[in-house]
């Protein structure tokens, strides 16, 4: 059986700018063929076991030739696979999709072209430049700039293109900016015409430089401005002075590693995105049901005497989620805890209980185990029964302290925290190039597990501490920070409160003092 190929526009770089259909194609693909212009974050939607094929440039080989990519798509489809070819921007705009589709057609392979958001329009928009404007430009031209001057002259009719439309967009023409400028001036564009170059638009590396046709070549040389970039020529560039919205966001220009479990990462990821940062999800922990028969037996025994507890202390969202999972599995009723007082460490834990109809007593400060004793110590009486549902990595301090105070503690391990984290060549490359600007840790286990995963991934090439040397370390609380420091990391950011929102606030405060990339 012959497979099918989807030629999918991946958008300009920000993973959220892919189309719904493009995302659906990735989710059902057996193989995804991609290069550096497609965000690696898109690959997180792939189904387990699907094949990733990188066709960009690697240290030990050059970029795969277009003819080889064409044939690769054919070969994969002939094995019966559903294949996605991820192409930056829109595949029909200088994406060579016609060549790929033609070879598929000749081999009788079914294919679909899935349009994407073209970088020729979206990248300028992220730099505050609308490519059309009622008073400045009612039309635009999209022109390749990624050719030698003699080939550009054969492909472009400069006398017609120069003044054909209000805005000119040149794709991939940084190295030819001087030649392009001179040709436009020679064919009638005023030397003072505004020009902007936007590099890696919509990504953390987004960088913008502006000038005029007369001086932009020198500005690019002095700034050592490198490709890939979109070039915008026309009066619309002047709109940037008032409309550069992305660069005003608190986390603009920062790629931030999120290491917590994928099931819990959504809030942190969403806040980073909302504030202009680029989250890179790399969960190094996963929470699972307990596997020990002893732990399972102790859970069942605890649930059989719910009506005997005076207090239930929940120390995490996971503790809530897994407790209720066990409760449902056993057929028990939460009303059995009607005589118990229920307390939560932190607003997130209290929120998880509120979703289940329980208004827990919440700590007003110090969102950790010690805070429970501080807050409720005077009300804890010797002989009372305490239920403590938590994970296998919970500190011994709380049950030991409660026992010392004369209370009877039932400490059940309702879930286990296990190491996860697949090898990720893109992440390794980003660390090596200084492309991970901050690393967030939300528990001690995320610290120890990230170091273990990096050690495995890097082998003898780097130590984990070497890879993390140029990244700012941000921790959710003092216990996590202590683990990081003991491991040899320099902790620069710590949340005032042990909450995701407070951690994000600390990241924003840090980024205030960081240099911003725009050179107008």
116: three-class secondary structure by DSSP: coil
What's the DSSP call for residue 58?
B
Q: Angle 444-458/425-432 helices, nearest 10 degrees?
A: 90
pLDDT for 59: 47
Supply the mean pLDDT for the chain.
91
Tens of pLDDT, residue by residue over 98-151, are 999 999 999 999 999 999 999 999 999 999 999 999 999 999 999 988 666 666
pTM: 0.86
pLDDT for 367: 58
Helix ranges restricted to H, 357-414 = 369-376, 397-404
- Count Cα atoms within 13 angstroms, Cβ side, for 506: 25
In the predicted structure, residue 188 carries a pLDDT above the cut 90:
yes
* Beta carbons of 503 and 495 less than 8 angstroms apart: yes
Q: How far is CA 209 from the centre of its chain?
A: 26
Tens of pLDDT, residue by residue over 338-348, are 889 999 888 88
Tens of pLDDT, residue by residue over 464-492, are 999 999 999 999 988 899 999 999 999 99
How far is 364 from 335, CA to CA, in rounded Å? 26
Catalytic residues: 35, 57, 172
pLDDT for 117: 96
């Amino acid at each position: 059986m012959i497979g099918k190929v989807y030629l999918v526009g991946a958008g300009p770089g920000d993973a959220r700018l892919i189309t719904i259909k493009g995302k659906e194609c990735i989710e059902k693909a057996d193989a995804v063929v991609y290069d550096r212009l497609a965000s690696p974050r898109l690959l997180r939607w792939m189904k387990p076991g699907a094949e990733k094929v990188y066709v960009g440039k690697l240290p030990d080989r050059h970029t795969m030739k277009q003819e080889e990519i064409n044939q690769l798509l054919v070969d994969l489809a002939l094995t019966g696979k559903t294949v996605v070819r991820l192409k930056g921007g829109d595949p029909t705009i200088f994406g060579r999709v016609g060549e790929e589709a033609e070879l598929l057609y000749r081999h009788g392979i079914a294919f679909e072209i899935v349009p994407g958001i073209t970088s020729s329009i979206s990248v300028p928009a992220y730099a505050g430049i609308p490519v059309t404007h009622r008073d400045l430009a009612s039309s635009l031209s999209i022109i390749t700039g990624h050719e030698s001057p003699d080939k550009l002259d054969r492909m472009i009719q400069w006398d017609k293109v120069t003044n054909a439309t209000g805005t000119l967009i040149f794709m991939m023409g940084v190295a030819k900016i001087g030649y392009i400028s001179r040709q436009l001036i020679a064919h009638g564009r005023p030397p003072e015409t505004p020009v902007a170059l936007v590099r890696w638009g919509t990504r953390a590396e987004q960088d913008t430089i502006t000038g005029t046709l007369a001086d932009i070549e020198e500005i690019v040389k002095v700034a050592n401005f490198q490709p890939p970039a979109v070039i915008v020529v026309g009066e619309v560039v002047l709109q940037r002075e008032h409309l550069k919205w992305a660069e005003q966001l608190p986390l603009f220009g920062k790629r931030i590693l999120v290491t917590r479990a994928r099931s819990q990462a959504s809030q942190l990821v969403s806040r980073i995105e909302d504030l202009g940062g680029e989250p890179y999800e790399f969960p190094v922990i996963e929470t699972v049901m307990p596997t020990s028969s002893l732990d399972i037996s102790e859970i069942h025994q605890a649930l059989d005497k719910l009506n005997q507890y005076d207090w239930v202390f929940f120390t995490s969202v996971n503790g809530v989620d897994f407790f209720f999972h066990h409760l449902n599995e056993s057929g028990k009723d939460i009303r059995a805890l009607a005589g118990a007082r229920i307390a939560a460490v932190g607003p997130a834990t209290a929120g998880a209980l509120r979703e289940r109809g329980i208004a827990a007593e919440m700590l007003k400060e110090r969102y950790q185990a010690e805070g429970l004793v501080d807050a409720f110590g005077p009300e804890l009486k010797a002989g009372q029964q305490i239920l403590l549902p938590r994970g296998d990595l919970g500190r011994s301090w709380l049950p030991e302290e409660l026992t010392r105070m004369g209370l009877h503690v039932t400490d059940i391990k309702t879930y286990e925290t296990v190491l996860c984290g697949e090898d990720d060549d893109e992440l390794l490359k980003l660390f090596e190039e200084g492309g991970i600007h901050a690393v967030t840790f939300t528990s001690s286990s995320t610290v120890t597990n990230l170091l273990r995963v990096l050690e495995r991934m890097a082998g003898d090439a780097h130590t984990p501490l070497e890879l993390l040397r140029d990244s700012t370390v941000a921790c959710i609380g003092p216990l996590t920070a202590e683990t990081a420091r003991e491991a040899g990391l320099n902790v620069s950011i710590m949340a005032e409160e042990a909450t995701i929102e407070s951690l994000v606030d600390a990241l924003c405060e840090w980024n205030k003092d960081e240099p911003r990339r725009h050179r107008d």
